[in-house]
């Protein structure tokens, strides 16, 4: 096989995320033109608002934060060959636990925030461990189990919330000030007024940690080996079951922490439905980021910008278009990759 | 009397579940996982409302729902069968697409982000003899309830007593064997997925016609319950329908208990917990078709 051709093939498959985004934006442009607006002007306005001002950048970062966590959680599962669709429920429970710990634990000031973060990680981790153990022990399909557990989580919180929610609302009491994650505009005045908070820094830390875990440790190597081929990994001395259980548990921990931006850093209370589908968009984030922590970060920023920019252009183009674009990115990404791979195979 | 009313309520709730679950059984027996049920149902519900709104006829609404359901399923088939993309991701993508696109349509057509205008429902038939029976008269006077009961039998016949059904099951178990016999795996899988789209679209039409409107996210996870019921029913149309009836009864009970001290929210979680137990092998073993979820690539020899 010609070396240059092999390179070209690798390049082609690596292009798939960009092809997917371009195709989705093109489809969006057709819609925008159909309702009588100018696509380039709308996209330009969207980008300039999302990245052009300090406040806009803060909003983009704020919206990217939960997506960074959920994208990382999905990617971690994918690396071990597991599809965690339960990120939404894990994040939901993580946020609920953080809210409760921040309100009722009454931990002394320096411990209040770590305790609330730990509660979020634990709640998400337990919810990830359940399908992980069921997969390892009984071979039960994690896709179905994680979907089921999403709904169990929603029901559980509705039930537990009966006695906890403030009267006539669906939110818990406000957390203690010591458990709050600080806003970043205290550090960087340019971001003034935007709700981006220290949860983003935690997310970056988690991303770096996952990068080290996956590519620099023995455990990470084993997870990837199981993801690549469970039987081959077993043959090589890796026990696939425990590795899968660990992967889903860690994925749940990361997802649980994803609830902290809203609960500890923004509203300072838990509210029913606060996740708003971030867990599912995390699948798009992981897909576009090709399951690499850095790629996930870039993809989270892209969807964060789209989400904020969509609000800004809402006067002229319905912001619901952004949801359609997100879905199209997923559909184009999964079809572009096999297509480009096939083209690459022909070339090579 | 109370028992009859309760039974009627349980059946009413389980109708959309049963339609979608039977659709999923057809899709998965052919080897294509259909997580897209939720989105197809949602799009079907919008299809009904748009059809009924523009024509003033519920039956046109049903036709539109079938069309929209098939179109969404066609997208899923195109991505997973033709392009051999990951079936679960494609399904989730379709669900997100349906959620976004129906909201977009609500804003464009009805200028509201939450609900449509009120539209006509389907006619209620007055059956002789049954009309006076409490619960049952109303229940069996509903054309879509009757259609669902007939479809349980029809889909079962189609899957286990027809040439197409045999071929569909073959492509879901051993696609290479089916291909060796000169069958087109692509075509047969398309057929299974499109039938799934029609059934899930009809489920959406039922929901919208009962409610006389479309509301944002109105399927509320019903597609996933249907998927769970199909698993509990072991990929069999009749089994799936029976599981749906059980889930419907749990939901009817939950509605009755709402507001009481009984934790009805936990009853709401029951279908999901049962499904997990079945999957783990505690309540009989649920075995999926051997090639379920695996794209068929003729070059992969």
User: Using one digit for the tens of pLDDT, what is the confidence trace for B195-205?
Assistant: 999 999 999 99
Specify which residues A197 forms β-bridges with.
A183
Mean pLDDT across B148-157:
97
- Do B279 and A145 make contact, defined as CB atoms within 8 angstroms? yes
How far is B265 from chain A, CA to nearest CA, in Å?
Answer: 5
- Do A280 and B92 make contact, defined as CB atoms within 8 angstroms? yes
Specify the length of chain B in residues: 301
Check residue B300 and give its pLDDT.
Answer: 65
User: Using one digit for the tens of pLDDT, what is the confidence trace for B206-261?
Assistant: 999 999 999 999 999 999 999 999 999 999 999 999 999 999 998 898 888 877 77
Tell whether B27 is covered by a domain. Answer: yes
How far is A59 from chain B, CA to nearest CA, in Å?
Answer: 22
Tell whether B171 is covered by a domain. Answer: yes
Q: Which two tokens stand for residue B300?
A: 């992969």
Nearest to A321 among B79, B104, B281 (CB): B104
DSSP percent split of chain A into helix, strand, coil, nearest 5? 75, 0, 20
Contacts of B209 (CB under 8 A, 6+ apart): B48, B52, B58, B61, B62, B121, B122, B144
Helix, strand or coil for residue B31? coil
User: First-to-last CA distance in chain A?
Assistant: 6
Residues of A in contact with B272 (CB under 8 A): 148-149, 151-152, 155
Tell whether B133 is covered by a domain. Answer: yes
- Average pLDDT, whole number, for chain B? 92
CA distance A286 to A293: 9
CA distance A13 to A334: 11
- Do A152 and B113 make contact, defined as CB atoms within 8 angstroms? no
Among all residues of chain B, which has the CA nearest to that of A325?
B97
Q: State the helix-helix crossing angle for A87-104 and A54-79, rounded to 10 degrees.
A: 120
pLDDT digit string (tens) for chain A, length 348 residues: 466 777 777 787 788 889 999 999 999 999 999 999 999 999 999 999 999 999 999 999 999 999 999 999 999 999 999 999 999 999 999 999 999 999 999 888 889 999 999 999 999 999 999 999 999 998 888 999 999 999 999 999 999 988 889 888 889 999 999 999 999 998 889 998 899 999 999 999 999 999 999 999 999 999 999 999 999 999 999 999 999 999 999 999 999 999 999 999 999 999 999 998 999 999 999 999 999 999 999 999 999 999 999 999 988 999 889 999 999 999 999 998 778 877 877 776
CATH number of the domain within which B266 lies: 1.10.3470
Tell whether B80 is covered by a domain. Answer: yes
Tell whether B40 is covered by a domain. Answer: yes
User: Using one digit for the tens of pLDDT, what is the confidence trace for B135-151?
Assistant: 787 888 899 999 999 99
Q: ∠ CA(B271), CA(A71), CA(B277), 5° rounding?
A: 20
Tell whether A251 is covered by a domain. Answer: yes
Owning domain of residue A124: 67-296
pLDDT score of B111 more than 70: yes
Residues of B in contact with A330 (CB under 8 A): 89-90, 92-93, 96
Of residues A298, A250, A300, the one with CA closest to residue A66: A300
Contacts of A325 (CB under 8 A, 6+ apart): A24, A25, A27, A28, A306, B100
pLDDT score of B100 more than 90: yes
Q: State the DSSP code for A239.
A: -
Tell whether A335 is covered by a domain. Answer: no
Check residue B210 and give its pLDDT.
Answer: 95
pLDDT score of B301 more than 60: no
Contacts of A342 (CB under 8 A, 6+ apart): none
Number of domains in chain B: 1
pTM across the whole model = 0.93
Residues of A in contact with B94 (CB under 8 A): 327, 331
Q: Is A324 on the interface with B (CB under 8 A)?
A: yes
- Do A339 and B83 make contact, defined as CB atoms within 8 angstroms? yes
Residues of A in contact with B35 (CB under 8 A): 143, 147
Check residue A162 and give its pLDDT.
Answer: 83
How far does Cα B63 stand from its chain's mean position? 16
Q: Confidence band (pLDDT; 50, 70, 90) for B284?
A: low
Tell whether B131 is covered by a domain. Answer: yes
Assess contact for B151 and B19: CB atoms under 8 A: yes
Of residues A254, A326, A332, A248, the one with CA closest to residue A284: A326
- Do B94 and A158 make contact, defined as CB atoms within 8 angstroms? no
Tell whether B284 is covered by a domain. Answer: no
Q: State the DSSP code for A268.
A: S
Assess contact for B230 and B240: CB atoms under 8 A: yes
Among all residues of chain B, which has the CA nearest to that of A147?
B224
Tell whether B246 is covered by a domain. Answer: yes
Owning domain of residue B77: 2-279
- Do B84 and A338 make contact, defined as CB atoms within 8 angstroms? yes
- Do A320 and B279 make contact, defined as CB atoms within 8 angstroms? no
Q: State the DSSP code for A184.
A: G
Number of domains in chain A: 1
Helix, strand or coil for residue A180? coil
When computed from its CA atoms, the radius of gyration of chain B, rounded to whole angstroms, is 19
């Amino acid at each position: 096989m010609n070396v240059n051709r092999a390179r070209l093939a690798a390049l082609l498959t690596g292009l798939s995320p960009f092809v997917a985004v371009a195709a989705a934006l093109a489809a969006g442009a057709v819609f925008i033109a159909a309702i009588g607006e100018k696509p380039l002007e709308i996209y330009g306005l969207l980008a300039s608002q999302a990245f052009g001002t300090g406040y806009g950048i803060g909003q983009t970062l704020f919206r990217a934060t939960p997506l960074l966590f959920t994208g990382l959680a999905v990617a971690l599962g994918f690396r071990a060959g597991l599809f965690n669709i339960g990120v939404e429920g894990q994040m939901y429970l993580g946020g609920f636990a953080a809210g409760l710990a921040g309100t009722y634990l009454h931990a002394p000031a320096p411990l209040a925030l770590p305790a609330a973060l730990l509660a979020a990680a634990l709640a998400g981790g337990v919810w990830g461990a359940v399908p992980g153990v069921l997969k390892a022990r009984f071979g039960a399909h994690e896709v179905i189990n994680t979907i089921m557990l999403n709904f169990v989580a929603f029901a559980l919180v509705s039930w537990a919330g009966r006695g906890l929610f403030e009267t006539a609302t669906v939110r818990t009491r406000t957390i203690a000030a010591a458990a709050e994650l600080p806003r970043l505009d205290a550090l960087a005045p340019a971001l003034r007024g935007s709700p981006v908070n220290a949860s983003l820094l935690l997310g970056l830390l988690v991303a770096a940690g996952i990068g080290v875990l996956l590519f620099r440790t023995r455990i990470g190597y084993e997870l990837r080996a199981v993801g690549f081929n469970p039987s081959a990994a077993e043959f090589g001395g890796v026990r696939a079951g425990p590795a899968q259980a660990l992967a889903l548990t860690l994925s749940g921990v990361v997802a649980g922490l994803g609830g902290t931006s809203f609960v500890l850093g923004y509203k300072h209370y838990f509210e029913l439905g606060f996740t708003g589908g971030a867990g599912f968009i995390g699948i798009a984030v992981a897909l576009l980021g090709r399951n690499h922590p850095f790629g996930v970060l870039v993809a989270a920023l892209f969807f964060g910008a789209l989400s904020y920019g969509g609000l800004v252009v809402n006067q002229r183009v319905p912001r619901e278009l952004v949801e359609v674009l997100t879905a199209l990115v997923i559909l184009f990404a999964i079809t572009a990759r096999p297509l480009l791979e096939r083209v690459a195979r022909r070339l090579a | 009397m109370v028992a009859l009313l309760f039974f009627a309520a349980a059946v009413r709730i389980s109708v959309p579940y049963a339609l979608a679950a039977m659709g999923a059984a057809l899709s998965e027996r052919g080897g294509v996982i259909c997580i897209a049920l939720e989105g197809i149902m949602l799009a079907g519900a919008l299809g009904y409302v748009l059809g009924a709104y523009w024509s003033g006829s519920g039956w046109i609404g049903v036709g539109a729902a079938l069309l929209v359901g098939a179109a969404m399923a066609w997208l899923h088939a195109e991505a997973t069968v033709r392009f051999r993309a990951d079936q679960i991701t494609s399904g989730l993508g379709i669900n997100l697409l349906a959620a976004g696109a129906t909201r977009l349509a609500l804003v464009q057509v009805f200028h509201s982000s939450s609900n449509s205008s009120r539209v006509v429902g389907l006619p209620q038939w007055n059956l002789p003899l049954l009309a006076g029976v409490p619960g049952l008269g109303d229940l069996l006077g509903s054309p879509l309830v009757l259609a669902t009961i007939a479809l349980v039998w029809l889909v079962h016949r189609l899957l286990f007593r027809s040439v197409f059904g045999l071929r569909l099951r073959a492509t879901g178990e051993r696609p290479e064997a089916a291909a060796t016999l000169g069958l087109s795996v692509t075509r047969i899988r398309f057929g299974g997925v499109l039938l799934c789209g029609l059934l899930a679209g009809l489920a959406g039409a039922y929901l919208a016609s009962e409610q006389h409107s479309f509301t944002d996210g109105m399927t509320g996870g019903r597609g996933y319950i249907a998927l769970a019921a199909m698993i509990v029913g072991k990929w069999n149309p009749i089994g799936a329908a029976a599981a749906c009836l059980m889930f419907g009864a749990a939901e009817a009970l939950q509605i009755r208990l709402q507001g009481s001290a009984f934790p009805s929210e936990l009853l709401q979680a029951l279908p999901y917990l049962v499904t997990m137990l079945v999957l783990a092998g505690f309540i009989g073993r649920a075995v999926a078709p051997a090639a379920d979820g695996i794209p068929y690539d003729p070059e992969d020899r």
